[in-house]
Amino acid sequence: MGEKRKIRVLVGGVFDILHVGHIHFLKQARELGDELVVIVAHDETVRMQKRRDPINPAEDRAELLRAIRYVDEVYIGSPGTIDFELVRRINPDVIAIGPDQNFNCEKLKEDLRKHGINAQVIRVPYLYKSDRAKTSKIIQRIVETYCE
């Protein structure tokens, strides 16, 4: 009897200041399959997308993610847009998109197919209200509370 093939789920993100929203997202993504792989955004990608430096370098963000029990593997992405070569090597069955990630799922599916990647794309909903579990809002609260 052959071993049943594990369903591999892939997520990507910045994960700069880890917060409860990230944990909810990772937990829900992990529940879509048997193993969860994370691609952490490269520092240059964060600068391009967020127009600010990351609070924590990619290596630190990756190390924190490796410590989370829902996460099986962590990679640091290449600078720029989606690293389709890395995604192809990871070979996911499912790509989970976070509730606040700015992706058009249909367009992403098309782009994946063009690169020979035949994964399902699933948007994970917010588990709870999104408002307090956002890195930008956490930074804003820190600045308002501790900086004069």
Q: What are the pLDDT digits (tens) for 46-77?
A: 999 888 999 999 999 999 999 999 999 999 99
What the block records as the tokens of 28 is 């829900």
Q: What domains appear along the chain, each with residue ranges and CATH number?
A: 8-146 (3.40.50.620)
Q: What residues have CB less than 8 Å from 94, skipping those under 6 apart?
A: 7, 8, 9, 10, 32, 33, 119, 120, 121, 122
The answer, as to whether pTM is greater than 0.75, is yes
For the chain, which ranges sit under pLDDT 70? 1-2, 128-132, 148
